[in-house]
């Protein structure tokens, strides 16, 4: 094998960008499946998606939680919170739901809320995120 043949097997690191991996979470009862950590998960991003975990380069994770129009974490168990997901006609027709970037500890509290429907986890996550 000559030197030019070896170049075929070298990977150009700039061109070999790794696509981020996104995990979608929802409240217990709305899930497509339960993962190995007992989290209610969705196969793809839908209107039921309440939280996301995006794993990018160097396995660095980004945590996102769905917000309502009041700037609080979305509570899918509360009818009033469902109405606050959008604040008006334009929000309902033109804007997609907002997700807030949070720390792992806040994400973990919100995940406990999604698994248990215990509102104290939701309130603690909201308070910790402020």
User: Where is pLDDT greater, at 65 or 6?
Assistant: 65
Per the listing, tokens 């609080």 go with 72
Is the pLDDT confidence value at 110 over 90? yes
Any domain includes 2: no
Any domain includes 103: yes
Supply the pLDDT for residue 71: 84
Count of structural domains, the chain? 1
Any domain includes 1: no
Q: Confidence class of residue 58 from pLDDT cuts 50, 70 and 90?
A: confident
Q: What is the pTM for the complete model shown?
A: 0.76
Closest CA to 50 of 67, 66, 68, 30: 66
> What is the mean pLDDT of the segment spanning 4-28?
70
Domain that holds residue 63: 16-125
Burial of 123 (0-12, 13-18, 19+ CB in 10 A): middle
> DSSP per residue over 54-75, as a string?
EE-GGG-EEEEEEB-TTSSBP-
Supply the pLDDT for residue 124: 96
């Amino acid at each position: 094998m000559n030197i030019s043949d070896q170049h075929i097997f070298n990977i150009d690191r700039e061109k070999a960008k790794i696509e981020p991996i996104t995990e979608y979470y929802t409240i217990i009862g709305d899930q497509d499946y339960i993962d190995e950590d007992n989290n209610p998960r969705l196969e793809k991003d839908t209107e039921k998606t309440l939280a996301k975990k995006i794993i990018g380069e160097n396995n660095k994770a980004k945590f996102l939680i769905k917000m309502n129009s009041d700037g609080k974490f979305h509570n899918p168990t509360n009818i009033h919170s469902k109405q606050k997901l959008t604040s008006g006609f334009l929000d309902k027709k033109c804007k997609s739901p907002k997700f807030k970037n949070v720390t792992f500890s806040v994400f973990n509290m919100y995940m406990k809320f999604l698994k248990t429907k215990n509102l104290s986890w939701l309130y603690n996550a909201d308070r910790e995120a402020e």
